């Protein structure tokens, strides 16, 4: 157990639907990062939050949004889902917005859009 908890582990949903992925960072970590991993795209950075504020944005679609709550857990919302959104979604956390010690990754949420 890495200390980063992601729920659910698996999600199967239909095109056009909306889902919410949840991440609880490791205790004491203030920064949360979301990544998408699909077979043909590798690991793509989506977005970073630090202590409730958005810090960096990557290749995140407009249909996707995220937030970090006061208790530091984060949610990634995916809407108007398409088949191509099927992927593993990882959350990672680190102590600060700089990551000298590296990220701690959760085990991921596998999203299948049918």
Which residues contact another protein by CB under 8 A?
2, 4, 33, 35, 42-43, 45, 48, 55-56, 58, 88, 90, 92, 97-108, 110
Nearer to another protein, 40 or 62 (CB): 40
**How near is the Cβ of 69 to another protein at its closest, in Å?**
20
For the record, the structure tokens of 101 come out as 């010690």
CB of 43 to another protein, least distance (A): 4
In 3D space, the residue among 5, 38, 41, 40 whose CA is nearest the CA of residue 24 turns out to be: 5
Pick the closer one to another protein by CB: 79 or 105. 105
Cα 86 to the center of its chain, rounded Å: 14
- Residue 100 gets the label, from left (phi > 0), alpha (psi -120 to 50) or beta, of alpha
- In the complex with another protein, which residue's Cβ is closer, 73 or 79? 73
């Amino acid at each position: 157990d890495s200390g980063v908890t992601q729920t659910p582990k698996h999600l199967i949903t239909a095109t056009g639907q909306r889902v919410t992925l949840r991440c609880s960072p490791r205790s004491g970590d203030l920064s949360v990062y979301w990544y998408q991993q699909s077979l043909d795209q590798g690991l793509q950075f989506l977005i970073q939050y630090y202590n409730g504020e958005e810090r960096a944005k990557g290749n995140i679609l407009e249909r996707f949004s995220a937030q970090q709550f006061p208790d530091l857990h984060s949610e990634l919302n995916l809407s108007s889902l398409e088949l191509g959104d099927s992927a593993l979604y990882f959350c990672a956390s680190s102590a600060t917005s700089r990551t000298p010690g590296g990220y701690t990754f959760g085990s991921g949420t596998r999203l299948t859009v049918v």
